[in-house]
Amino acid sequence: QKEVEQNSGPLSVPEGAIASLNCTYSDRVSQSFFWYRQYSGKSPELIMSIYSNGDKEDGRFTAQLNKASQYVSLLIRDSQPSDSATYLCAVNIQGNNRLAFGKGNQVVVIP
């Protein structure tokens, strides 16, 4: 099993709708979870960090963590065309400073 898996395929959402992204991870001792946004041709930008079970909200973004089921998700409310990007899930592994990254999910917001 891969360390971090994101469901494949681009996600198309109409402007104003909710985009939902999911990520599963294999390391039960992972404690830190991140979502990065990456625009085409640019580097990843950290947009959310979550460390405890439950929801964490920041503006239009909500991260949800469920350690028992080993998944973390990202909701983007009121999606805007500027949200069109690839979103990378990252999880710290083996109790050290390394992060394992998923391959990313492309989100396309249709005006």
Partner 1 sequence: DVKVTQSSRYLVKRTGEKVFLECVQDMDHENMFWYRQDPGLGLRLIYFSYDVKMKEKGDIPEGYSVSREKKERFSLILESASTNQTSMYLCASSSPDRRSYEQYFGPGTRLTVT
Residues of the shown chain interacting with partner 1 in the complex, contacts defined by CB under 8 A: 31-32, 34, 42-46, 49, 51, 88, 90, 92, 97-99, 101-104
Alpha carbon of residue 63 to chain centroid: 8
Q: Least distance (Å) from partner 1 to the CB of residue 44?
A: 5
Q: Least distance (Å) from partner 1 to the CB of residue 62?
A: 18
What whole-number distance in Å separates Cα of residue 47 and Cα of residue 24?
18
The residue among 14 and 42 lying less far from partner 1, judged by its C-beta, is: 42
The residue among 69 and 97 lying less far from partner 1, judged by its C-beta, is: 97
The residue among 14 and 95 lying less far from partner 1, judged by its C-beta, is: 95
Q: Least distance (Å) from partner 1 to the CB of residue 82?
A: 19
Q: Least distance (Å) from partner 1 to the CB of residue 36?
A: 8
